Every structure is written in structure tokens, then in C-alpha cells.
Chains A and B, each alone.
Chain A
Amino acid sequence: MRKWFLILPVLMAAPAWAEEEAGEGTPEKHDVAGFILHHVANAQEMEFEVPLNPDKNVVIELPVIRLSLVPGSCQAHPPQAGLEGIADLAASWGALTAGCLDLSLTKHVVMMWLALALLLLVFLGGSHRDKSKLVPHGAGKNLLEMMVLFVRDELAIKNIGKKDGPRFTPYLLTIFFFILFMNLLGLIPEMATATGNLAITLGLALCTFVVTQYASIRAAGLGGYLKHLTAGVAPWLWPIMIPVELLGLFTKPIALTIRLFANMLAGHIVIFFLLGLIFLLKSVAVAGISVPFAMAIYFLELFVALVQAYIFTMLSSLFIGMGVAMGHHHDDSHGEAAHGH
């Protein structure tokens, strides 16, 4: 069995063969940076590469769906191809502020839907168990139960408390497994990482933000919540205090966004770049070093996928717990204040 593991490095070198297409223009120069960006960024089509035969790549054009909320705005801001990075973001922001809602299906959206389908399959299939027996049977159901109980006991109840923990457990479970599935899907050869898209991680962080504010308002009431924004200082300090507190309110979701996005993006870029070194240095001997390194980083990426899902969920549960604790501070005396945490 152990000898079969030697096949792994050969398999991991397969993407190196798929890179033949990068040198389309001139046979001498390989545009490694462009190749990497093309594979990591969002695109309007899904491209399934055939190794060693780049001409036979299967390209599926995805539908462009743009709704003009302000009549005529989508005609005024046509989708611009070929923009990279900041210029692309600026163009799409310009279209959005003009009133054009871009709901196109892109590669990352399809990956999100795939993760959604897998989630439904795994959990609807794995959660329905025989009610006559108390204990779930089978490896899959037990594994699912283990992970669900882990999120409930270690994350929800430990951070939010015994009373409100179960209320927020469904949200935390959703976040954990959705991010986990999206991260893991990105590691399969022909798929893309949906969480490597800033918009998707921002959406997830906004969901956490909304749930956190809901938890705070529910625990402390709207008045108590607003009072926390002033942080108990004298009224003449409010013009300074309230903007600072509002800013502090938003840094947490922003940090969640960028942490998940950067971790997922960086790992894939490193793998691609290590394999791209073979083409940059134009010698097959580099493959002897590149491929094992890329394999090591690939396993690190597997680990990081799990850890980042866990960290996002843990921080979400921590923030929700802090929000729920907002309601308790005014009830008990200061001597007991440390007991709640």
C-alpha cells in the first residue's frame, strides 16, 4: 500500500501538463502571472481543462443576467472584459451605483451552488435516522453527528451560553459546513474556490454581522443596544464616541472577510506559482523540487481549509456571545461580572 503512495507526486504533477496552454502566444515566453490570475479569479465561463490537450478544453459559457433597476443603466455600463484587479472592481461598482444589478452566473456562483447541493445531499440524507433506535448507525451518520455536536458543544454553548447557544446553533452549523464545503471543493482539480472571492466572504461576514446585531438587540433591547454604542461616557463626548464605536462595530466583519478570502486565495496562488516555476525557469529538473513542495502546500491547504472554516465559525460564535452578554451586564453586580465569561 505504501508503495502506491509514490504515485501521488506524479498525479500532483498533472496540473503542470495542463499548463501547456499558457504559452499560446509565443512559444518562448510563458505568462505565469496571467495564468495564475486566470485560474484563481472569477470568470464568466466554466472551463474544464483536458491535460495535454489544451485545444479540447470544455468551455461552458454561463448566462449573463443583468437587471436594470434604473432603466437604461445596464446599457450604459456594459461588462468590460479584460480588466484585472482594481479596475474590474471599480467598473462593476460604477455599474452597481448607476442602478445595474449584475446577477450573472459566474464560475464562483456555480461553485457556491455546487456546495449548496452537496450540503443538502449530505445533511438531508445523513440526518434522517431511525427514530426507534436512540443511536445513529453507520459511519456517515455518526461522523455527521460528531461534527454537529462539536459545533454545538464547543462553539455554540461554550461561547454563547447554555440558554441561547441552541438558538444560534443552526446558523453556526450552516456557516461552518458551507465554508468547509466551498473550501474543500476548491482543492479538487477542475473546480474553483468560491471563498477565494471577496464578494462571497463579504456576504458571509455580513450574515454574521446581522446575526450578531440581532443577538445584541434581542438580549439588551434596542435602547440597551444603542446605549452600548455610547459606551457609558458623558453626553458631550458622544460625537467622538459614537463614530469610533460604529467603526469598531464594522472592523470585525471586515476582518472575518479578509481573513477567509486571503487564506483561501494565497494558498492556491502558492501552489500554482510553485508549479509555474517549472515554466519560468524553463527546465524539467525544477519539477523535482517544485512538485513535492506543491504537494506539501496542497496538504497544508487541506488543513487550512478546515481551520479557516473553524476559525470563521468560532469568531462568529464569539461575537454572538459578546452580543448576548450585552444583556447581562446591567443585571448582575460588578463582583459577578467576571463569572459570565
Chain B
Amino acid sequence: MGNIAMAFIAAGLGAGISVFGAAFGIGKLAAAAMEGTGRQPAAGGDIRTTMIIAAALIEGVALFSLVICILLATKS
């Protein structure tokens, strides 16, 4: 198996694993946000804003790995 083939496999695996991590993290975040809003509906707006910010930051980390996967996959 040549280098390019292994680079493609690595890119695919990397993207898959990092998406799993991101989805897991954001899922936990959403669960906590739902629970917090259920306990105190008045704080719903604040919780929603904080949730969106945290989701964007978690997604940013997942996209770090996406950049590396793109580098691997477009290496000609």
C-alpha cells in the first residue's frame, strides 16, 4: 500500500473519529443545557447563549482535525 493510499485512509479515519468526539461533546452540552433550562426556565435565554458559544468552541476543536485531514487528503 503506497503512501498516498495510507494518507487517504488516515484522512478518512481521522475525520470519522474527530466527528464522533465533537458530536459526543456537543451532545453532552445540549443535554446539560436542556436540563438547566428545565430546572429554571427563566434562565433559558442566558443558557441558550452560553450553549451556542460553547458549541462553536467545541466545533472549532473538531475542525482543527478536519484541517489536518484535508491536508492529508489533498497531498498530491
CA distance A270 to B13 in the complex (A): 18
In the complex, which residues of chain B have a beta carbon less than 8 angstroms from the beta carbon of A263? Answer: 56, 59-60, 63
In the complex, which residues of chain A have a beta carbon less than 8 angstroms from the beta carbon of B60? Answer: 255, 258-259, 262-263, 311
Q: How many residues of B contact A (CB 8 A)?
A: 15
| A266 & B63 in contact (Cβ 8 Å cutoff) | yes
Given A85-B71, A258-B64, A263-B63; A307-B56 close (CB under 8 Å): yes
B30 to chain A, nearest CB (A): 15
CA distance A90 to B70 in the complex (A): 16
B76 to chain A, nearest CB (A): 5
* Interface check A61, CB cutoff 8 A: no
CA distance A86 to B71 in the complex (A): 7
* Interface check A122, CB cutoff 8 A: no
> What residues of chain A have their CB less than 8 Å away from a CB belonging to chain B?
37, 84-87, 255, 258-259, 261-263, 265-266, 304, 307-308, 310-311, 314
What are 28 pairs between A and B in contact, CB < 8 Å? A84-B76, A85-B70, A85-B71, A85-B74, A85-B75, A85-B76, A86-B71, A86-B74, A86-B75, A87-B76, A255-B60, A258-B60, A258-B63, A258-B64, A258-B67, A259-B60, A259-B63, A259-B64, A262-B64, A263-B56, A265-B67, A265-B70, A266-B63, A307-B52, A311-B53, A311-B56, A311-B57, A311-B60
> What residues of chain B have their CB less than 8 Å away from a CB belonging to chain A?
52-53, 56-57, 59-60, 63-64, 66-67, 70-71, 74-76
